[in-house]
Amino acid sequence: MFSVKTFISTLKQKSRAQHEGFTLIELIIALSVFMLFLTLSTGAYINLVRANREAGENQKIYRDIRRVFDTLAEDIRSKAIDFTCVDQNSPYIDASCLTNFEGEHQTVIALIDTKTSPLERTLYRFANGGVESIQQTLDLNGFGWTTLSGWHSLTADTTVFDGGYFEVFPLNDPYAQENVQDDEIQWQPSVGITLKYKRYTFKTTYSSRFYGTTALYSL
């Protein structure tokens, strides 16, 4: 026998079952969206942390490079380039500088302070992944250089360059007596500096403000 009450009860049960199934689907979708958002947020956070770390490392590298350039700029501008480490035709060639060249590039430069007596000079070199300097004084008796201290690094231990070199121009001493008539090399001496770090290459050039008229060793 058909019962209206039974029919209505059956419809309510079907409606409840359909409603519960729809809620489960919504829950699955919500969880999926949440997991996707969480994954994207985590990835963005990791990338942000990595970018901040790399930015911090790059700032340290730039500070080291700036320190190297500033130190070299001050010395190159205020001192004279010692061409005995560059000019292989010089009668005063420094034997310790004969291994200075890698192709047309120099790995060592020497800068002389002409205001001191006896003369003092600073050698700079690219070695051990960094830039190092050493102080020397001219031994007037033996006509050689006496080292005052060991090599000192201008860069932090955490900074490791992939390469570097100097380019002195001209290669011959324009102040030497034997070169004063050679117009091709009568230029104000300058030093080009190249530093390589990972995929970056940093270059700059500084001119010496020493205006000598004779060879340094004749002063």
Query: Has residue 127 been placed in a domain?
Result: yes
- Reference 159, options 64, 53, 59, 54; nearest CA is 64
Q: Is residue 124 part of a domain?
A: yes
d(CA 19, CA 29): 16
Q: Fill in the amino acid letter for 162.
A: D
What six digits make up the tokens of 42? 């985590």
- Domain that residue 197 falls in: 59-218
Residue 118 resides in a domain: yes
Q: Give Cβ neighbours of residue 116 (< 8 Å, ≥ 6 apart).
A: 137
Q: What Å distances lie between residue 84 and 4, 25, 216, CA to CA?
A: 116, 84, 10
**Residue 73 and residue 156 in contact, taking contact as beta carbons nearer than 8 Å:** no
**Token pair of 189 as six digits:** 């001496």
Residue listed under structure tokens 């006509």: 143
**What tokens were used for 127?**
């070695």
Q: Phi and psi for 88 in degrees, rounded to 5?
A: -75, -5
Residue that is written with structure tokens 């600073």 in the block: 122
Q: Please tell me the predicted confidence (pLDDT) of residue 114.
A: 84
Number of domains making up the chain: 1
Please indicate, yes or no, if residue 159 is contained in any of the structural domains: yes
Q: Does residue 2 lie in a domain region?
A: no
Domain assignment present for 133:
yes
Q: 52 in a domain, yes or no?
A: no
Give the mean pLDDT per block of 10 residues along the chain (219 residues): 57 53 74 85 84 80 88 92 74 57 74 84 88 86 76 83 88 77 81 90 90 54
CA 155 – CA 206 distance, rounded (Å): 20
Give the pLDDT score at 219.
46
Q: Report the alpha-carbon distance of residue 207 to residue 80 in Å, rounded.
A: 10
Residue 7 falls inside a structural domain: no
| Residue 149 Rama label (left phi>0; alpha psi -120 to 50; beta) | beta
